[in-house]
Amino acid sequence: MQINEIANNPYLMILSYILATIGVILAIVFYLRSKREKRPTYRVYNRTLIEGVHTELSDLKVLYKNKPQKRVTVTKLAFWNAGRETINRVDIVDTDILRIEVPADARVLDTKLLQQNEPSNKFYLGPIEKSANGLDTTKIPLSFEYVDYRNAALIRIVHTGNYETKIRVHGKIKGVEQIIGFETFDPTRTKPDSWFGKFESTLSNPGLKVKREIVSLVFLVIGIPGLVLLLTGHTAWYAWALTVFGLSIALWCYFYPITQCPVDFYE
C-alpha cells in the first residue's frame, strides 16, 4: 500500500513531469553544444544618413571625400562562425572566394574593418572590385587566417543605396552548404534605441551570457507549470497559454542570441 500511495502521490507525479521536461531540454542543449560544424554567418544593418537634401535645399551640397552625394547609407556587416568547427583560410575555394557583394544600383564609397573580437583571426578586406560596365555587383573580398566559434568581424560599408539595399556575403567554403545571412532592412525594427534593439543587443552580448541564461530560466519556470497541467489532464486555455508562452520564450532567449553578432553590432 505504501508503494501504491507513493506512486499515486500527485506531488511526486508533478515532480517527475518537471524532471522529465528539464531532462529533455538539457539533452537538446547538450546535443547542440556538442555538435561540431562550420556555420559561417553574417548579418547586415542598413541606415540611411542623408537623403533628398538636394531637393529640399538646392544650395546645400553634401560631400563625402570631397565628392557631392545625393544619398549616403552606412551598412554594418558582421561576419562570424556560429558553429564549433574552425573555418581555416584553406577552406575557402580559390575559384569562388569569400566576398561581400553590393548591388549595382548602390555605389560603394568606402569600406572599413571596424573591429574583430580575436585579433589573431587577421580579417582583411581586399580592394573594391567595381564592374567595368557598372551593371554588375561590386565585390569586396573578405579573407582571414581562421575563424573559431563566435570569432567575429564587424565591417562598415558606406554606399549610395538605401536601407533596402541587399548586401550579401557569397563564396564557397569547404564543408559548408551555404552561408547563413540575417538581413535587417526595416530601420525601425532593430535600431539601438528601440526596445527590441536594446533587448536583442543585451541578450547577444557575450559578456552578459549569464543574464541571458537567467532570463531563459525564468520563462522556463513559467512554462513548466503549464506543461504539468496539460499532462495531468487540465486543458484549459491558461494551461496552454503558460506552456506555449513560457517554453517558447525560454528557448528563444537561449538559442536566438547564438545567431547574433559576438561583437558590438551597434557601436
CB 225: neighbour CB atoms within 10 A? 17
Cα–Cα dist 60/164, whole Å: 25
The stretch 148-171 carries a mean pLDDT of 91
pTM of the model: 0.67
List, for residues 177-216, the tens digit of each pLDDT value: 889 887 664 444 444 555 555 555 555 554 455 566 667 7
40-185 classified as CATH 2.60.40: yes
The stretch 83-105 carries a mean pLDDT of 93
In this prediction, residue 86 has a pLDDT band, given cuts at 50, 70 and 90, of very high
Cα–Cα dist 42/176, whole Å: 14
Cβ contact 200:184 at 8 Å: no
CATH 2.60.40 residue ranges for the chain: 40-185
List, for residues 162-180, the tens digit of each pLDDT value: 888 889 999 999 999 889 8
Burial of 241-256, coded b for 16+ CB within 10 Å and e otherwise, reads ebbeebbebbbebbee
The stretch 38-63 carries a mean pLDDT of 75
CA 33 vs CA 36, 117, 201, 252: distances in Å? 8, 21, 22, 16
Quick one: pLDDT at residue 170?
A: 95
Burial of 91-124, coded b for 16+ CB within 10 Å and e otherwise, reads bbeeeeebbbbbeeebbbbebeeeebbbeebebe
Quick one: pLDDT at residue 204?
A: 52
The stretch 227-246 carries a mean pLDDT of 78
